[in-house]
Structure 1
């Protein structure tokens, strides 16, 4: 899977980008996501994520992660390319993470920044793949899978 990382904060180095790509590929393997899929991850500050949250979710507050799935209905995906032999990337969508909020939460929860960013990445990635936590049952499924991925990857609390 191709991961494109944008860093508006100038706080993410190449080594961090590499392990984030590895983590998302690990999660993609667990979910059987197609190899030719792609996802973008943008690191922003609290002001920017608040603006995104307000504009797209009508919530005038800072949050830690927001995901925008490109695909809502697999039936509608790239029908015009069926049978053409052309492989186009499956664009899963975009994940926005507030680096500032991740730092705050890592301190609050008593773990390092990599664990917090890993948690937010996997959380956003699961949303892009159709998981949600609007009901107790959905939450159980999503959060259990999220912890399994993080644990199996080695990002424990």
Structure 2
């Protein structure tokens, strides 16, 4: 399992970001039944940088908490069987499933933790679990999709024992 971890900007979260990210990604993918070793890139950044990315990639000119950039489109969320037919989903040297990129605003982690009345750890872990679900095809644009994703996020956070 490979986590490419990068942090930019002066703000720091009061937690072990790389260690926690690895744990949350592993737990989320185990929960989803992912049968492969994985590769994920995670960038922790500041509001201004994520605002630019949000504007450039989504046409929304404001900071957001997390952006997810999946490497593969999943015909059915969380179903991995179709991947066997496509070699371009796997790293040619490691054989790991290349899931995609996650970008998180550290400032949003801190402000949302305060706003929602829980720890920075809880907010950070939640955003990673949320993003990994996006990387494997889940979305929340429709009400039914949102309910499924919310249930999965809640169950993942319970597995991690990171509660509000």
Fold conserved between structures, TM > 0.5: yes
Q: Which residue of 2 aligns with 1:147?
A: 154
User: How far apart, in 2, do the equivalents of 1:62 and 1:16 lie?
Assistant: 20
Q: Which residue of 2 aligns with 1:70?
A: 71
Q: Which residue of 1 aligns with 2:106?
A: 99
Give me the CA root mean square deviation: 2.0
Q: CA deviation at 1:151?
A: 1.3
Aligned residues: 152
Q: Aligned in 2, Cα 1:13/1:115: closer, same or farther, shift over 3 Å?
A: closer
Query: What TM-score do you get using the length of structure 1 for normalisation?
Result: 0.88
Where structure 2 has 5 or more consecutive residues not aligned to the other structure, the ranges are 75-81
Where structure 1 has 5 or more consecutive residues not aligned to the other structure, the ranges are none
User: How far apart, in 2, do the equivalents of 1:70 and 1:23 lie?
Assistant: 19
User: How far apart, in 1, do the equivalents of 2:149 and 2:55 lie?
Assistant: 25
Using CA pairs below 8 Å that are at least 6 residues apart, which structure has the higher relative contact order? 2
Query: What TM-score do you get using the length of structure 2 for normalisation?
Result: 0.85
Q: CA deviation at 1:72?
A: 1.3
Q: Which moved more, 1:120-129 or 1:30-39?
A: 30-39
Q: CA deviation at 1:87?
A: 6.0
After superposition, what is the alpha-carbon deviation per residue over 1:118-149, rounded to whole angstroms, capped at 9, x for unaligned? 01000111000100001110000011001110
Q: CA deviation at 1:16?
A: 2.9
Q: Point out 4+ residue stretches in structure 1 off by more than 2 angstroms.
A: 9-16, 73-77
User: How far apart, in 2, do the equivalents of 1:142 and 1:101 lie?
Assistant: 21
